[in-house]
Structure 1
């Protein structure tokens, strides 16, 4: 595994954001957890609202907003799994 792995959420042919795959596992897990918990909190808050706009553009933007940290969290968990020699899910 290379020391730096590009995040798959990079929206460019030349990536600008990377994961340092050599940092301690607890730091990688903490970073993944932070991103997943942030999206979970937003989704839970949205679910508790009585009025939700169904405008297609708004929903598309919201989905993109949530997908970026989710993808980053999955990338971080992938590095942890590789470091622990666990099969990927």
Structure 2
């Protein structure tokens, strides 16, 4: 695994990267923060009383949530690869 992995939510050039050698607890905190932020926003949107959102606005809001969710999933993928590569019984 390369040390730096481009986030898939980026444009084609991938200017943002994850340090795949960062401590696992830091990677987990980063992934959890992004996933939690997106899900909290979606929960708040779902609880709105007024359901008259313009379709274009709704599409923009969905895209806004996709970015941190993809980033969080990318970081979780790094964690999974690190755990899979760890020798059995190691504590990392």
The TM-score normalised by the length of structure 2 is 0.87
How many equivalent residue pairs? 85
For structure 2, the residue ranges without an aligned partner over 5 or more in a row are: 86-92
2:70 aligned with 1:60: no
SS at match of 1:50: coil
Residue in 1 aligned with 2:2? 2
CA–CA distance in structure 2, aligned partners of residues 52 and 26 of structure 1 = 39
CA–CA distance in structure 2, aligned partners of residues 22 and 52 of structure 1 = 44
The TM-score normalised by the length of structure 1 is 0.90
Moved over 3 A (4+): none
Displacement after TM superposition at 1:52 (Å): 2.5
1:1-89 equivalences in 2 (<5 Å): 1-11=1-11, 13-85=12-84
Displacement after TM superposition at 1:53 (Å): 2.8
Q: CA RMSD in A?
A: 1.2
Which is greater in Rg?
Answer: 2
CA–CA distance in structure 2, aligned partners of residues 40 and 53 of structure 1 = 21
